[in-house]
């Protein structure tokens, strides 16, 4: 087991858990979250969904008493040992609801550290996507339980980099390149892929340190397989001045089926041998829609444009700044009165940032909010993350209090969930222990790289 002490002392170079966002429910406005169809709920959660769907409206004065009736008894039951978490990209008002009940909202890296930093928290309930809850579980102590309100909430980027996609290709690469191959796994991967990074001498990275981790991974001329986000990998490589002619994008995981012979990559084995950087072919279903024309449209109208580095390289290069969720939030919160900012990232995050900024006289728009048909974009919210809604929060907390929560919602390191069927593939205990050790190693290396830089 790796040095847990590294986690307990907040690493100086990483985004600390973000302070309370200060977001508040507006009593005059209904909850901003579309209802899910009843058949999208697990059997155990359907009674809560039926009650919620039968409420006369979605106004806070209607929803909150209903939610309180389940959440408050659970809070009393578990007391200080209960920790509620949510990611900034959560749709609707879940972030506000979680904060209202004393929970924390953060980006994925800061969320991952929550259990390790708060050993007194024994029941951790997260409203976010599965890999985020699994990252908490990897770093949790044996007496800390991690639960997700909806196990079918997956990250589309991670869904195209499952172990059954990545491992058969990684094995062929290791066979060909041996110890010269190093895997860098973005935080948005399952524990199984983080463990692959650990086994190959690689590390995890976040959107705020991908360039530093990539520079470190290339030590001694290593060939790097960057998983899963091709855009973040490209942006990091460009920042390091790496030669684009030696980047190679691996086959699109949406297209290939089963085992893919590496000799079939574009340019064949010669191209593979020559490449310094192998980019896994996945992307975020939200950020990859942005185009440079979106950026210039706003700049021509004197707006400052900031984007997340999961956006394509041309978008990042056109923007006035790029950085992690924590960076974007900070830029908005610290912008002077009168500033006009356009943010290219997940839509719910921008809505919340806009609300906070407006109180300080700062204007915030979403990169896709262009009133011209050919440039307008729809669907810039992380729809899969928003599968965690009020009935899921109420239901899981109530079922946990009763000792009846479904095991599918328990998150252990190494768990793989089918986001369509909800089917859970759980590793035997011995394999899980190995995975925790390898995945933790890859996280430890990231911290060492960033602490040392």
Stretch that binds ligand SF4, among 155-163, 220-228, 429-437, 443-451 (CB under 6 A): 155-163
**Site pattern 295..314 for ligand SF4 (x: CB under 6 A):** ---------------x----
Strand order in the sheet with 304-307: 321-322, 304-307, 340-344, 363-366
Q: How many whole angstroms separate alpha carbon 18 and alpha carbon 11?
A: 14
Residues touching ligand SF4, count (CB under 6 A)? 13
Instruction: Supply the minimum distance, in Å, between the C-beta of residue 377 and ligand SF4.
Output: 14
- Looking at 127, 156, 189, 208, which residue binds ligand SF4 (CB under 6 A)? 156
Q: Is 155 in the site for ligand SF4 (CB under 6 A)?
A: yes
Stretch that binds ligand SF4, among 34-42, 118-126, 215-223, 278-286 (CB under 6 A): 278-286
Stretch that binds ligand SF4, among 265-273, 279-287, 386-394, 417-425 (CB under 6 A): 279-287
Q: Is 285 in the site for ligand SF4 (CB under 6 A)?
A: yes
SS3 of residue 27 by DSSP: coil
Residue nearer to ligand SF4 on the CB measure, 41 or 289:
289
What φ, ψ does residue 79 adopt, rounded to 5°? 55, -140
- Looking at 97, 307, 382, 408, which residue binds ligand SF4 (CB under 6 A)? 382
Strand order in the sheet with 203-205: 203-205, 181-186, 223-227, 277-279, 247-249
3-state helix, strand, coil in the chain (%, to 5): 45, 15, 40
Residue nearer to ligand SF4 on the CB measure, 107 or 444:
107
Instruction: Supply the minimum distance, in Å, between the C-beta of residue 290 and ligand SF4.
Output: 12
Residue nearer to ligand SF4 on the CB measure, 25 or 286:
286
Q: How many whole angstroms separate alpha carbon 76 and alpha carbon 228?
A: 41
- Looking at 71, 125, 227, 286, which residue binds ligand SF4 (CB under 6 A)? 286
Instruction: Supply the minimum distance, in Å, between the C-beta of residue 222 and ligand SF4.
Output: 26
According to CB under 6 A, which residues from 345 to 364 bind ligand SF4?
Answer: 346
According to CB under 6 A, which residues from 385 to 404 bind ligand SF4?
Answer: 385
Residue nearer to ligand SF4 on the CB measure, 87 or 354:
87
Residue nearer to ligand SF4 on the CB measure, 173 or 204:
204
Rounded to 10 deg, the angle between the 108-117 and 325-334 helix axes is 100
* Cα-based angle 416, 381, 15 (whole degrees, multiple of 5): 70
Residue nearer to ligand SF4 on the CB measure, 222 or 325:
325
Instruction: Supply the minimum distance, in Å, between the C-beta of residue 382 and ligand SF4.
Output: 3
**Nearest CA to 344 among 322, 363, 327?**
322
Residue nearer to ligand SF4 on the CB measure, 63 or 286:
286
Give Cα separations from 331 to 268, 290, 341, 375, 408 (angstroms).
44, 20, 9, 25, 38
Q: Is 157 in the site for ligand SF4 (CB under 6 A)?
A: yes
Stretch that binds ligand SF4, among 9-17, 71-79, 153-161, 360-368 (CB under 6 A): 153-161
Q: How many whole angstroms separate alpha carbon 150 and alpha carbon 347?
A: 20
Stretch that binds ligand SF4, among 6-14, 283-291, 358-366, 415-423 (CB under 6 A): 283-291
Stretch that binds ligand SF4, among 74-82, 151-159, 163-171, 363-371 (CB under 6 A): 151-159
Q: Is 193 in the site for ligand SF4 (CB under 6 A)?
A: no
- Looking at 18, 84, 129, 443, which residue binds ligand SF4 (CB under 6 A)? 129
Q: Are 144 and 185 in contact (CB under 8 A)?
A: no
According to CB under 6 A, which residues from 68 to 107 bind ligand SF4?
Answer: 89
Instruction: Supply the minimum distance, in Å, between the C-beta of residue 34 and ligand SF4.
Output: 16
Tokens 């001694």 belong to residue = 220
Residue nearer to ligand SF4 on the CB measure, 158 or 398:
158
Residue nearer to ligand SF4 on the CB measure, 157 or 183:
157
- Looking at 113, 181, 284, 393, which residue binds ligand SF4 (CB under 6 A)? 284
Q: Is 208 in the site for ligand SF4 (CB under 6 A)?
A: no
Q: How many whole angstroms separate alpha carbon 280 and alpha carbon 291?
A: 21
* Beta carbons within 8 Å of 318's beta carbon, 6+ residues apart: 292, 295, 296, 299, 305
* Bridge partners, residue 238, by sequence: none
Q: How many whole angstroms separate alpha carbon 410 and alpha carbon 207?
A: 27
- 3-state secondary structure string across 288-348: HHCCHHHHHHHHCCCCEEEECCCCCHHHHHHCCEECCHHHHHHHHHHCCCCCEEEEECCHH
- 3-state secondary structure string across 228-283: CEHHHHHHHHHHCCCCHHHEEECCCCCCCCCCCCHHHCCCHHHHHHHCCEEECCEC
What torsion, rounded to 10 degrees, do the Cα atoms 87, 281, 225, 449 define? -20
For the four alpha carbons of 335, 341, 346 and 348, in that order, the dihedral sign comes to positive
Where on the chain is the footprint of ligand SF4 (CB under 6 A)? 89, 129, 155-157, 188, 284-286, 310, 346, 382, 385
């Amino acid at each position: 087991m790796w040095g847990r002490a590294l986690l307990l002392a907040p690493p100086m170079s990483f985004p600390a858990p973000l302070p309370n966002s200060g977001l508040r429910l507006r009593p005059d406005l209904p909850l901003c979250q579309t209802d899910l169809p009843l058949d999208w709920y697990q059997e155990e959660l359907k009674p809560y969904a039926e009650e919620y769907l039968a409420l006369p409206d979605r106004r806070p004065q209607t929803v909150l008493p209903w939610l309180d009736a389940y959440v408050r008894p659970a809070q009393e039951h578990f007391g200080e040992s209960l920790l509620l978490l949510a990611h900034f990209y959560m749709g609707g008002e879940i972030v506000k609801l979680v904060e209202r009940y004393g929970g924390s909202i953060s980006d994925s890296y800061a969320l991952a550290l929550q259990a390790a930093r708060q050993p007194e928290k024994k029941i951790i309930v997260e409203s976010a996507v599965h890999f985020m809850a699994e990252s908490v579980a990897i770093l949790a102590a044996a007496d800390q339980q991690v639960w997700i309100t909806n196990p079918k909430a997956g990250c589309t980027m991670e869904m195209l980099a499952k172990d059954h996609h990545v491992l058969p290709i990684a094995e062929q690469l290791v066979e060909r390149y041996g110890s010269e191959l190093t895997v860098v796994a973005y935080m948005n991967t399952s524990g199984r892929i983080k463990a692959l990074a650990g086994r190959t001498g690689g590390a995890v990275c976040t959107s705020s340190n991908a360039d530093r981790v990539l520079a470190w991974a290339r030590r001694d001329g290593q060939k790097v397989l960057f998983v899963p986000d091709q855009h973040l990998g490209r942006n990091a490589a460009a920042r390091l001045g790496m030669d684009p002619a030696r980047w190679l994008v691996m086959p699109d995981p949406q297209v290939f089926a089963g085992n893919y012979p590496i000799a079939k990559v574009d340019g064949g084995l010669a191209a593979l041998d020559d490449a310094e950087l192998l980019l896994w072919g996945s992307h975020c279903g939200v950020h990859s829609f942005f185009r440079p024309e979106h950026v210039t449209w706003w700049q021509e109208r004197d707006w400052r444009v900031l984007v997340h580095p999961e956006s394509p390289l041309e978008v990042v290069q056109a923007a006035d700044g790029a950085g992690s969720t924590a960076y974007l939030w900070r830029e908005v919160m610290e912008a002077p009165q009168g500033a006009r900012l356009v943010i290219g990232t997940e839509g719910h995050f921008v809505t919340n940032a806009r609300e906070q900024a407006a109180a300080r006289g700062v204007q915030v728009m979403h990169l896709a909010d262009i009133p011209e048909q050919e440039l307008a974009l729809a669907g810039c919210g992380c729809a899969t993350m928003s599968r965690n809604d009020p009935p899921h929060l109420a239901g899981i907390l109530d079922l946990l209090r009763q000792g009846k929560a479904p095991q599918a919602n328990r998150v252990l390191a190494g768990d793989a969930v089918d986001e369509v069927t909800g089917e859970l593939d759980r590793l035997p205990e011995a394999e899980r222990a190995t995975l925790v050790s390898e995945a933790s190693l890859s996280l430890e290396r990231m911290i060492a790289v960033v602490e040392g830089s």
